[in-house]
Every structure is written in structure tokens, then in C-alpha cells.
Chain A
Amino acid sequence: MSRIDVRKTYKLYIGGQFPRSESGRSYVVNDAKGRLLANAAQASRKDARDAVVAARAAFGGWSGRTAYNRAQVVYRIAEVLEGRRDQFEAELRASEGITPAKARSYVDAAIDRLVWYAGWADKITQVVGNANPVAGPYFNLSTPEPSGVIAVVAPRGPLLGLVSVVAPLIITGNTVVVIASEQHPLTAITLGEVMATSDLPGGVVNVLTGSVAEIAPWLASHMDVNGIDLTGVEDAQLAADLEAASADNLKRVRRPAPGTDWLAEPGLDRMTRFLETKTVWHPIGV
């Protein structure tokens, strides 16, 4: 008699824990051929708010760590992902119906992207910050600081797309609430397992699965969210509404990016969009 396998329950990833949706809801996730893969948790407004609370609670500690330490942690995520690459390749093939070679290339790129961003932790300040030679006896220095809690609507790429939007935010010290791709949410939760075992403090990245149209407006109008990245919003009207809602507390907004080539090397924009510039003056004199 063949062995019956034990299937995984996919839940949310909030504050370092894996809770079910408080709403008790789930939705069916199918593979590329329309067969059932699993039920995913369908997050509610309350789950989104809990995730913001967790992200806010984590912000002080995470942004207060040295850049060197954040680099070590993000590099560690890459190391752990490399060790679990077979699982991710299998998940990508199942959910997207892609070839083994393509799945491998996405996992490769996701790992390399984490490594690329890890190196930015202690360099972004040196590239976008500088001393300002003001016309007076003052020391004047501008440095970037993270904006705070950032909400993200992830693009469809279940692994590479997700890593490409989350890594640039956390490496600079922001904390994140990310809504996973509605069509391919399962890999996001598996990535949550990687993050949970990579020295990343709970709450730095929080993953919600469910309906973008249902959850995103609550995040866009949330007064304790400092920025919103609409990369994965595919409905132009919804994106415009979310941007308008974000104006209530002047969230920093990154508009949708249809047609992004996720395999290409990113520039600095995903980091700098969610950085504040702080300028310090100090008199010079005896």
C-alpha cells in the first residue's frame, strides 16, 4: 500500500507567527492545469491591521540595527533559500506550469537578488547621502533613513517578483506588509518559512494572502502606514483609487510597474522611493 502524504496548511505570516485568517476564510488555489493545489488563507481587514501593528512594533528594532547587521540577516535569507531551492523549484513548477530549467533560473535569480540587496545595506548611504558644503561655518550632512511601515502589493512572480519588491524595502530598515500574488500565494508563505528561520526578526516582513481588491484599500487608507508599493496592482482604476486613498497621510507611493523584467538588474529606485533624507546642521567654531 502506498503512503498517504501529509499536506501543508498554508496560513498567513504575521509578527513571526503563522496564524490562520481571523475571518476563518480560505480560497482555492489551483495549479497551472486547474487542479487543486491547496486552500490559502483569505486575509481580512483585521488581519491587515494586525500585520501593520506587527510591522510597526518591529520597525524600531529593525531600523535601529546596524546596516552591517541587516546585511548579514538578508544574506542569511539567501543562504537558507539556497538550501531549500528544490522545494521552491517544485512549487514554482506546480503553480506556474513552467519547465524545470525556468524554475531553476527564477530561484537562482531570487537568491542572487537577495545577495545583491544585502550588499546595499551599508552602501546606499554612501551613494545617496553626502556632506553639503553650505556657505557658512556649519557642518552639514544628509543621510537616508527608512520611511517606516510599507505596504506592498506583490507582482505575479511568486518568488522572484516577491523577493524583488520586499528585499529593497527591508535592507534599508523599513518593515513590510505584503499582499502576495492572488493567483500564486503559496510560495509567498513558504518564503515566510525561510524568513522565519533566517534570523529575520518577527514582524519585519508580514505576508497576507487573499483578495487584493479587498485588503489593499484598508492598507492604503491606514494612517500608520508610511508608504505603499502598488507594483502588483493590475487594475488601473484600483491603483488610482489606492493612490488617492494614500494621500490622506501622504504615503510615499510607487505606482504599478507592468511589464517589469524581473530578471534584469534593478536600479536604486525600489530603495530610494521609500527613504527619507535627513540633513543635520551643526555649527563650527571655537
Chain B
Amino acid sequence: MSNVFEYAPAPESRAIVDIKPSYGLFIDGEFVDGGGTAFKTVNPATEEVLAEVAEASDADVDAAVRAARRAYTRVWSRMSGAERAKYLYRIARIIQERGRELAVLESIDNGKPIKESRDVDVPIVAAHFFYYAGWADKLKYSGYGDTPLGVAGQVIPWNFPLLMLAWKIAPALACGNTVVLKPAETTPLTALLFAEICQQADLPPGVVNIVTGAGDTGRAIVSHPDVDKVAFTGSTEVGKAIARAVAGTDKKVTLELGGKAANIVFDDAPLDQAVEGIVNGIFFNQGHVCCAGSRLLVQESVADEVMTRLKRRMATLRVGDPLDKNTDVGAINSAEQLAKIRELSEIGEAEGAERWSAPCELPSNGYWFAPTVFTGVSQAHRIAREEIFGPVLSVLTFRTPSEAVEKANNTPFGLSAGVWTDKGSRILSMANRLRAGVVWANTFNKFDPTSPFGGYKESGYGREGGRHGLEAYLKTDENGGTA
């Protein structure tokens, strides 16, 4: 399809960010050198090396946990909720003030389109801190008591670096805990800028500690004996390893893991809106979304019509420079992830599904994958069962609501689901029968600080966001045990 409307490039200036050649660890309120081997973080859209980042050794993690414990014992757990709230409000305000800088840096380090980092990630990050700031002095109304756990060890993924940081740090601090957080090794930069924001807010040293590194650093945090709470967002495989590692300890755990969400379109759905929802469901953030609507279940009678409209819409997606304000789909976050997406897509073809990719010119440097849809997918296919975590949609069909429920629930995951129909009673009956922690009806990928998020089954346990999100950071039983 030829482009009817040509767009001139509209790049966001990156002059607003000041990326240093190298970064240390943020421990006890200061940046310090790491004991491990420094690693490089690259811009996935260009493969340009952005900075060298310290790797936290076991000793560094221990220093961070000790700083967090000191801050917990001497300052943070003794401070009134109203005073803790003021620090969180300050952080929320500084995030709003430095919003553009955070958005540009996030797009450079992660590869996501600037319109998403600017209009989705950063505003929700600020709102999340604002929301939990308000809880800090209202915990007695939460229904979960007001006793913090102590030191929280938090490990977050690369798909929403700053947003996942906010989901972890804001409720932890509001409840009176201190934290040691590890950002993903491919996206550490906004977390390190957040450390600077903590300094600007005069947050007491040690309340927030940011340690960078890869799997070994994460393992050191999770298994540290003085960590009272483990919060992890990432793959189901690592989540299971964490559940095993904390077995037999008193650590409280929340896990937000993978998904293979069904996005279910009934024949009475407003199809143009449904197509927008399908596109948003799987191509938002390059499909690097744990709750992505990666399985489209479409009612047989409208399947051809939906596919025609979907392909037409996919052909208009603009793939390219994440900093261009018109870009819809940015870069795949890493070479490793790109290889995984390619591999599963090839398996999809080999297993007999039919592959179609949107016609688009991909840049020559960087990591790119064209928006892709597979039709003729059966439930046995690996692309229907495994999380691809990329811009790849698998399409299955169904005839009755019960068949849709059966297929939707036929997965070890249970993070989210979508339902598209004009009939309210059907939305609610589908919602009742879907085994998923979030059900979006006639919308998809909506997030709000007040709304709890988290999965059933192997998508993890615990909820983040809302009043329910407080439970993960408060002592709710006599030994503060799991779940």
C-alpha cells in the first residue's frame, strides 16, 4: 500500500538529556563505584553505546541492603506517614517537572516511541507516586494495617523501566519500607536519573538504593538474608527460580510474570474500535508487554472481515525512529530479544501457521521487527502457547462464548484478557469466567495507579496498584510470609 500521506520527520530533540559516559551505583544517597565488571547500555534503535554502567557485586548489594536497613531503622520507619508522604509528593512533582527529559531518555535507552514514553509511561509514573503519597498517612484505612516489612529487594524488567520502578518504589516507601532496586541491564538510565531525583527531593540517604547489573546482581538481592520482601517483574522462568530461592524463609514475595492474553472479539463488536484495540493490544510498546493481547480470538462469522481491516490498519503503522513524534512502533529492546522473536516466528511458520507482516521499511542499524500476524493458528502451536514478547499476533477463531472461554483459559498464564462486544451482560459473564487478573472490555492496555494489576496462575501472585497494592508492602500475618 502506498503512503497517501507522507510525513516529514518530526524528531524530538535529545538535547534535553545529558547522558554521562559512565554511571556508578546509587547507595546510601551517593553514587559509588561498583565492584563488578562494568557493562554498556546501547540505544536499540541505532546500536550506539550510550554509557558504561557499573555492575554491583555481592559486596555492593550487601552494602546497599545495609544502607537500606540503617535508613529503615533510624529514619524511615520512625517518620510519620504524613512526613513520608511529603517526600513522595516531592518526587511526584519533580517527575512532572522533568517529564520531558525522562521521556526522551526512556525512548533512547529502551527504544519505545516518544509518544508512548511522553504520553503514557511518564505521566503514569508521576501519578503513581502522587497516588501512593496519599496513602502514606492513611494506611489505617487500607484494611491491611500499617506495619511495614523492612527492606524490600526489587528487580524490574526492561519493557517499562521507569514505570516498573514507580510500581515498585512508590507503594514500598508509602508503607514505610526502604528499597534496593535493580533495573534491567539493558535499560538502567532512567532509574539512575530517578536516583538524582531522590537527591533533589532530599530523600534521606539509604531509603532508595539503585544497584545495576544482570542476573547475578538480581540473585544477590533476592537471596540476601536481610531482605524482608522480594518484588519481581519479569519472566515466569525467573519468577519460579525466585519462588524456589525464598522457600523456607520469612521473605514476603510478589511476582508479576509473563502472559499470553486472549483478546476476544465477538461478532456484535464495533469492528473498527475492536481493530484499534487489537493493534493497541499487541503493537503497543513493540509488544514488549506482559499483558499484551497476543492471542486474538475472533468469532468465526467476522474473522475474515476483522482480518481485512486489521491488515489494512497494520499497514499504516509507522515503524522507526523512537524519537520521531509520528512513530507508532519503535525498536526491539535488544539483539537477544530480537533473536527470540525471530526464532518463535520461524517456528510458527514451520508449524504451519500463515505469516503476514506489515509492509514497512526497517532502518538498517538497530533492532527491528515488522508488525506481524499469524493466521490459521491452533492451540497446539508454540506461538499460541509461549510468550513471544514482541509485535507478533496469533489469531485463532471460535464459534460460541463457551469455546472462547475454553480457549482463552487454555494457558498456564492468567494475567489479562480482552472482550469486545456490544452486549454488557456478555462482557460481565465473560469476565466472570476468564481466569485472568485484569479483564479489559471494549478497551485494552489501560493502566491507572488506582487500579490493581497482577496475574492468576503462572503469571505470578500479588497485585500492584490501588488499595490492593499496599498489601504487598505491609505485614499482614504474624510471620509476614508469602502471598
A214 to chain B, nearest CB (A): 39
B428 interface neighbour in A71, A72, A112, A284, Cβ under 8 Å: A284
Assess whether B426 is in contact with A116, with CB atoms less than 8 Å apart: no
Assess whether A127 is in contact with B467, with CB atoms less than 8 Å apart: yes
**Does B352 sit within 8 A of A, measured CB to CB?**
no
**Does B5 sit within 8 A of A, measured CB to CB?**
no
Contacts of A75 in B (CB 8 A): 89, 130
Extra contacts besides A68-B450, A119-B135 (19): CB < 8 Å? A67-B450, A68-B130, A72-B130, A112-B82, A115-B82, A116-B82, A119-B133, A120-B134, A121-B134, A122-B131, A122-B449, A122-B450, A126-B450, A126-B467, A137-B429, A282-B424, A282-B425, A285-B428, A286-B426
Contacts of A115 in B (CB 8 A): 82, 85-86, 89
Given A112-B82, A115-B85, A119-B135, decide whether A283 and B130 contact each other with a Cβ distance below 8 A: no
Assess whether B425 is in contact with A286, with CB atoms less than 8 Å apart: yes
Q: Which residue among B82, B85, B134 has the maximum number of chain A CB atoms within 10 Å of its CB? A: B134
Of all chain A residues, the one with the shortest Cβ separation from B402 is A286
In terms of DSSP, what is the predominant structure of the interface of chain B?
Answer: helix
A152 to chain B, nearest CB (A): 23
Contacts of B127 in A (CB 8 A): 68
A284 interface neighbour in B135, B137, B432, B449, Cβ under 8 Å: B432
**Does B466 sit within 8 A of A, measured CB to CB?**
yes
Of all chain B residues, the one with the shortest Cβ separation from A117 is B134
Contacts of A72 in B (CB 8 A): 130
A123 interface neighbour in B86, B134, B429, Cβ under 8 Å: B134
Give CA–CA (A274, B89) in the complex, Å: 27
Of all chain B residues, the one with the shortest Cβ separation from A78 is B89
Assess whether B137 is in contact with A116, with CB atoms less than 8 Å apart: yes
Assess whether A123 is in contact with B467, with CB atoms less than 8 Å apart: yes
Assess whether A126 is in contact with B466, with CB atoms less than 8 Å apart: yes
Give CA–CA (A268, B428) in the complex, Å: 32
Residues 129 to 174 of chain A near chain B (Cβ within 8 Å): 137, 139
Assess whether B467 is in contact with A284, with CB atoms less than 8 Å apart: no
Mask of B459-470 contacts with A, CB within 8 angstroms, 1/0: 000000011000
A-B contact count (CB 8 A): 66
6 contacting pairs across A/B (C-beta < 8 A): A68-B127, A68-B449, A75-B130, A283-B425, A284-B429, A285-B428
**Which of B's residues lie within 8 Å of A, judged by CB?**
82, 85-86, 89, 127, 130-131, 133-135, 137-138, 141-142, 401, 424-426, 428-429, 432, 449-450, 466-467
Assess whether A122 is in contact with B425, with CB atoms less than 8 Å apart: no
Assess whether A268 is in contact with B141, with CB atoms less than 8 Å apart: yes
Contacts of A116 in B (CB 8 A): 82, 137-138
Contacts of A127 in B (CB 8 A): 141-142, 467
Give CA–CA (A119, B424) in the complex, Å: 33
A119 interface neighbour in B138, B426, B432, Cβ under 8 Å: B138
Give CA–CA (A158, B138) in the complex, Å: 26
Assess whether B428 is in contact with A139, with CB atoms less than 8 Å apart: yes
**Does A77 sit within 8 A of B, measured CB to CB?**
no
Give CA–CA (A67, B85) in the complex, Å: 18
A123 to chain B, nearest CB (A): 6
**Does A118 sit within 8 A of B, measured CB to CB?**
yes
B128 to chain A, nearest CB (A): 11
Q: List 3 A-B pairs, minimum CB-CB distance, nearest first.
A: A119-B134, A284-B428, A285-B425
Q: Which residue among A71, A120, A284 has the maximum number of chain B CB atoms within 10 Å of its CB? A: A284
Assess whether A285 is in contact with B426, with CB atoms less than 8 Å apart: yes
Give CA–CA (A284, B431) in the complex, Å: 9
Contacts of A119 in B (CB 8 A): 85, 133-135, 137-138
Mask of A91-116 contacts with B, CB within 8 angstroms, 1/0: 00000000000000000000010011
Contacts of B428 in A (CB 8 A): 139, 282-285
Assess whether A285 is in contact with B429, with CB atoms less than 8 Å apart: yes
Contacts of B131 in A (CB 8 A): 68, 122
Contacts of B141 in A (CB 8 A): 123, 127, 268
Assess whether A123 is in contact with B425, with CB atoms less than 8 Å apart: no
Assess whether B424 is in contact with A120, with CB atoms less than 8 Å apart: no
B160 to chain A, nearest CB (A): 19
Contacts of A282 in B (CB 8 A): 424-425, 428
Contacts of A137 in B (CB 8 A): 429
